[in-house]
Homo-oligomer: A and B are copies of this chain.
Amino acid sequence: MTADIFSEKHQILFYETDRTRQVTPGMLVNILMLASQDQSDALGITSQKIHAQDLGWVVTQHLLTIERLPRLKEQVVIKTQATAYNHYFCYRDFWLEDLAGHTLAKMHSIFILMDQQKRKITKVPDELVAPYGSDYTAKVERIAEPEKFDAAKTAQSKDYRVRFMDIDANQHVNNVHYFDWIVDSLPEDFLITHQLKQMNIRYKREVHYGELVTSKVDEPITAADSGMLITHHQVSVGQQESCRAQCLWDKIV
């Protein structure tokens, strides 16, 4: 069996872009996730129904690859496919294309189902994934993890207090808000002259309302194979690591 591909169109709104008139990385992930939300709604497995069972879908890892960030007012096509699942993990692919069918971005994501009361991972019931046509797989998929952040190599560190509007229906910081903390840890002159090409982001621990988050990044190093710049990131609350990420950046010419 092959899982169904769900597809929808979207036009880039001005508040999805920054001063470069391109979509921000966080908004890119929001836009991709639109398709999975709408697929779930179309199948009648809305997030409201999931939450009514005291459950919630939680992202544990995204591997995002960007060919080109969509521009203000551009028409894009979002596609998604819930490819496979096992007892605890659900694997999903996303694509963003322009109207000519060129790929702008891809994302591979891992979701778990969280028990909202116990705040713990719970087994995925077949009836919650069967409608997507996902294949059951006994194997747990291994995606490369972002390299461990070496605190001794911290080049920049910024603090953020979690706001009311950072919290989603799972009562924790939405996975997309980490993208802003990670991108903003880099200096303005770097962000204006470089384009994010890839982010591997692994979520380790929930972050809650009011907590003080620290976002650290090391000095960019040049990748031997591609010549692109690599940055390593850590988001933490006190001594506890909440999230780790590794990014690839290309110079804007």
Give the B-binding residues of A (Cβ under 8 A): 13-15, 18-19, 21, 24, 26-27, 30, 33-34, 37, 41, 48, 73, 158-161, 163-165, 167-169, 171, 176, 180, 183-184, 186, 188, 191, 209-210
Set of chain B residues within 8 Å of A158, measured between Cβ atoms: 161
B188 in contact with A18 (CB, 8 Å): no
B34–A171 touching, CB < 8 Å: no
Can you give 16 contacting A-B residue pairs, CB < 8 Å? Answer: A13-B30, A14-B37, A18-B164, A18-B165, A18-B168, A19-B167, A19-B168, A19-B169, A19-B171, A21-B48, A24-B165, A41-B73, A158-B161, A164-B183, A164-B191, A165-B184
* Bound Cα distance A200, B171 (Å): 30
Find chain B residues with CB under 8 A from A159 CB.
161
Q: Which residue of B lies closest to A192 (CB)?
A: B164
Name which residue of chain B comes closest to A10, CB basis. B13
